[in-house]
Amino acid sequence: MEKSKKELIDEFGYLIDKIKSAPFSEDPFRFVLIDDFLSEDHLSAIINAVEINRSEADTTEALIEDLQASGYAVQSFPGCTTSIDDYLSAQKNQDWDVDKGLLEGYGITFRLRQYQTSILKDIVAFLNLPEFKRVLEEKFNIEESNYVETAIQKYLDGYEISPHPDIRKKAATYMLNINTRPEAEQMELHTYLMKFKDDKEYIYDFWQKNKEVDRCWVPWDWCESKLKTSSNNSIVLFAPSDDTLHAVKLSYDHLKFQRTQIYGNLWYNTETTEYTPSYKYIASEDVDLNSIYKDTKRKKSDKSVLSSIKRAVPTKFKSRIKKAFGK
C-alpha cells in the first residue's frame, strides 16, 4: 500500500529540517554537504534492501542479468552507454570509443524501476514531493518554474564524466551515497568537487558572459580537485552555476558491489540555450568572451539563408554557389 503524503512527511520530514539548517561551504564553489543524512535505522534498511545489497557476481554479464532481474533497467546518463553489448565489448577489450582529450572510457548506469522493499519506494516518493522540492528552491533561491526527479541508481566500472559545471537547464542537483560496503569510501568511485587552474580561470568569465550558450565538459588537467564526496550516507547539494565544476571516474571491481546513489535534480521547465561550444573552441587563442553566441547565431542564420538560395536556384548553378561559399 502506498503511503500518503502526510505519512511520508511524518517519516522523512527530518531530512527537510537537516537541509534547512545545513551551512553552505564556499570552496571550491557554493555547496551543501551533510554527513549522516539518513537516520541509522533508515540507512540500515536501505543498504540492506534486497535491491541494493546484491550478491557478488562472477562476471559482468551475470551482474547485469542480476540487476535486470532485481528491477533495474539501463538508464540514459552522461558518461555512459545505453548498449549493454557495447559496454561489455569495450570492457573486455579495453577499447573505449571516446574523445581521448576528455575521457578514458565510459560506463553504464542502471536505474531502479521496480521496488520490492517498501522503504526504497517510500524514500524516492518523499524526495519527489513538492515539499522536498520547495526546500531546495528556498535553500538555493530558485524562483523559475521547475520539476523534481529523484531515483536510485547503480553505476558500473568505467563510468566517467570529466570536469563540468552542469548544463543550464539543471536548477539543483543532489547525490546521496548509499553504498553497501564500508571499504567503498576508500575506492575510486566518488565525485570530485573542483576548480579551474589559474591559466583556465578565464573560462568562468566565458560562461558568465555567454549565458545563451551551454556549459561543456573540459579536460581533467585543466582543473584541480578540492574535495572528494566519499563518505557513505553523505549528501552533496548545489545549484549549478558557472563555477560548479565536478567530475567522476569509476575504476573499481563492480562484481563485489556497485556504486549506488539516491540521485536527483531540479530541472527548469524552459530551455534557454541553443548551442554548446566545445572545450577545443574555448581553448583556442581567438576566443572572444563576449561574442560567441552572436557569431554562432549569425553563422546559423547564414547557413539557413544559403540553404534557401540553393533550393530556389536551378541545379546547374548550385556548383557556383558551392564554389563561392565553400558549402
Residue 302 to residue 136: CA distance in whole angstroms = 42
Residues 260 and 321 in one domain: no
- pTM of structure: 0.86
Residues 74 and 155 in one domain: yes
- Identify the domain containing residue 299 by its residue range: 291-325
Residues 153 and 173 in one domain: yes
> Is residue 87 within 8 Å of residue 93, measured between CB atoms?
no
Collect all residues with Cβ–Cβ distance below 8 Å to 157 and sequence separation of at least 6: 91, 107, 250, 251, 252, 253, 254
Residues 45 and 130 in one domain: yes
CATH of the domain at 85: 2.60.120.620
pLDDT (0 to 100) of residue 283:
83
Residues 51 and 147 in one domain: yes
pLDDT (0 to 100) of residue 284:
75
> pLDDT in tens for each of the 327 residues of the chain?
789 999 999 999 999 999 999 999 999 999 999 999 999 999 999 999 999 999 999 999 999 999 999 999 999 999 999 999 999 999 999 888 889 889 999 999 999 999 999 999 999 999 999 999 999 999 999 999 999 999 999 999 999 999 999 999 999 999 999 999 999 999 999 999 999 999 999 999 999 998 999 999 999 999 999 999 999 999 999 999 999 999 999 999 999 999 999 999 999 999 888 889 889 988 876 666 665 544 444 444 444 444 444 444 444 444 444 444 444
Residues 236 and 321 in one domain: no
How many domains does the chain fold into?
Answer: 2
pLDDT (0 to 100) of residue 298:
42
User: Which of 113, 184, 108 has its CA nearest to residue 151?
Assistant: 113
Looking at the DSSP assignment, which residues form a beta bridge with residue 152?
262
Residues 131 and 66 in one domain: yes
Which triple of cell numbers denotes residue 75?
538508464
Backbone angles phi, psi at 43, to 5 degrees: -60, -45
